Chains A and B, each alone.
Chain A
Amino acid sequence: MLRYALLLLASLTFGAEALAATVQVAVASNFAGPMELIAAAFEKSTGHKTAVSTGATGKFYAQIQNAAPFEVLLAADDTTPAKIEAEGLAVPGSRFTYAIGKLVLWSAKPGFVDKDGMVLKKGKFAHLALANPKTAPYGAAAVEVLNHLGLFKALEPKFVQGENIAQTQQFVATGNAELGFIAKSQVVKDGKLTGGSAWMVPEKLHEPIRQDAVLLAKGKDNPAAIALLAYLKSEPAKAIIQSFGYGF
């Protein structure tokens, strides 16, 4: 009985491994939504499996430096993957921009944010949420926008900072902050706003938010990791990424 059980176990594990592998992916919070769909489509078309962790890029960097088991990183910026590669923790030449992030000023209340962002100049709100500019690229872009508009000094006292872009959205979604700068991907699905009101921040107001992917050293021999990076460049993946409002 035991022998059969072991045999079955062996055939399951080894058999599966020959066909398919699992890839451990660290994904920036803003890309959590599209990644869910991409992972499902990827698993369906390749037979590989994904284990997705979402969080702040800076935290992932610290964890990767300290031997975290991640094999692919989808960062919220382009500097972190470059740093990781320079430190020898990624496969050289595997870096590419998988999406260009778009910033929105969003409120959970319909009609609160006008489509030109004039609400910022009027300043009739108690809290403006943004991701921590020191650690989150979308937070840094938000600060750039406010500097561009000459509103940084006036609005700084109203800042509340999320640890990452997902927490920033949570502050606004629960109504604790009236409005906040978040990623377009968080509130746009199929090209439409899912709720509330928003100002699509013009891209000329901040440096482009290039989000780079990189194959980490731990994943260099994992066929699933290599396949996932290839899949990100495929048409079906690009269509999903675009539907969340990202550019290329």
Chain B
Amino acid sequence: MLSDSDLQAIGLTVRLAGVVTGILLVLGTPIAWWLARTRSKWKGPVGAMVALPLVLPPSVLGFYLLLAMGPNGPIGHLTEALGIGLLPFTFWGLVVASVFYSLPFMVQPVQNAFEAIGERPLEVAATLRASPLDTFFFVALPLALPGFLTAGILTFAHTVGEFGVVLMIGGNLPGITRVASVQIYDHVEALEYTEAHKLAAVMLIFSFLVLLGLYTRRPGSRRA
């Protein structure tokens, strides 16, 4: 039913969302832990920075990233010095952009979950002579697991739904940066409405199922 290029776009989208979710699990968890535990005056500013992509138009992020990752930008200088080359028009460029873009969707639910644990279990663990690292891995992480599940699903789904940033730094390369949302846009512009309908329906059903899973996972409970 779907054409090869549509399937390729879906495969690429899933791969991008998967990689980004994996990276953000590793990057986002310490940030969330720090935000949940700290009394530092930097908590406010860091929390605001993390939340920025929630309110910034994707065009702002795409514009900054295009300049920053280009040959005259700081990220571009860095990646060229490291011998990676330039990031725009590459899969890893999209990954970097999406990590910024989806950061709050990982950090915020995990931070909430850490905060919900409270002091008590951590203090009990400490009196039982658990090291801070042990406490984190064997007490905090298991207790925050529902929060991680929510964060993972939201991050994955949000990356799948990304469009504006990809359009600005992607260059529409089949199999590399032409994700499903861009493919649908292309179909619409080329007046291929049948193809656009098919792919759009796939996206709609996927998004609904993801959210259905999220909201019915623990009936009656608030989001972690």
Contact = CB atoms under 8 A, between A and B. Distances in A.
B191 A171 contact: no
Contact of A134 (B70, B89, B169, B190): B190
A135 B66 contact: no
A134 B172 CA distance: 12
Interface stretch (A13-21, A53-61, A68-76, A181-189): A53-61
Q: Which of B66, B72, B189 has the most CB of A within 10 A?
A: B189
Interface residues of B, number: 22
Contact of A58 (B69, B173, B190): B190
B188 interface: yes
A167 B169 CA distance: 10
Given A58-B190, A132-B189, A134-B190, A163 B172 contact: yes
Given A126-B85, A129-B171, A161-B173, A176 B186 contact: no
B66 to A, nearest CB: 6
A176 B170 CA distance: 11
A162 to B, nearest CB: 8
A110 B70 CA distance: 18
A102 interface: no
B173 A160 contact: yes
Interface residues of A, number: 23
Nearest to B182: A163
Given A126-B85, A132-B172, A160-B89, A174 B189 contact: no
A175 interface: yes
Interface string B61-80: 00000110111100000000
Nearest to B193: A62
Interface in A82-121: none
A56 B191 CA distance: 12
Contact of B71 (A61, A170, A175): A175
B189 A62 contact: yes
A152 interface: no
A127 interface: yes
Nearest to A160: B171
Contacts of A61: 191
B88 interface: yes
A174 B63 CA distance: 10
A155 to B, nearest CB: 14
Contacts of A127: 89, 171
A199 interface: no
B78 to A, nearest CB: 15
A161 B186 CA distance: 11
A159 interface: yes
Contact of B89 (A59, A132, A176): A176
Contacts of A177: 89, 171
B102 to A, nearest CB: 22
A62 B188 contact: yes
Contact of B72 (A62, A134, A159, A175): A175
A171 B191 CA distance: 25
Interface string B160-176: 00000001110111000
Given A62-B191, A135-B186, A175 B70 contact: yes
Given A126-B85, A160-B89, A58 B172 contact: no
B72 A59 contact: no
Contact of B172 (A56, A160, A170): A160
B171 A161 contact: yes
B14 interface: no
Contacts of A56: 189
Contacts of B172: 132, 160-163
A176 B90 CA distance: 11
Interface of A: 56, 58-59, 61-62, 126-127, 129, 132, 134-135, 159-163, 167, 170-171, 174-177
Given A159-B171, A161-B171, A176-B70, 13 more contacts: A58-B190, A59-B189, A62-B189, A132-B172, A134-B190, A160-B89, A161-B173, A163-B189, A167-B167, A174-B66, A176-B66, A176-B69, A176-B169
18 contacts: A59-B189, A62-B188, A62-B189, A126-B85, A127-B89, A132-B186, A132-B189, A134-B189, A135-B186, A135-B189, A160-B172, A161-B173, A162-B171, A170-B66, A171-B88, A174-B70, A176-B70, A176-B88
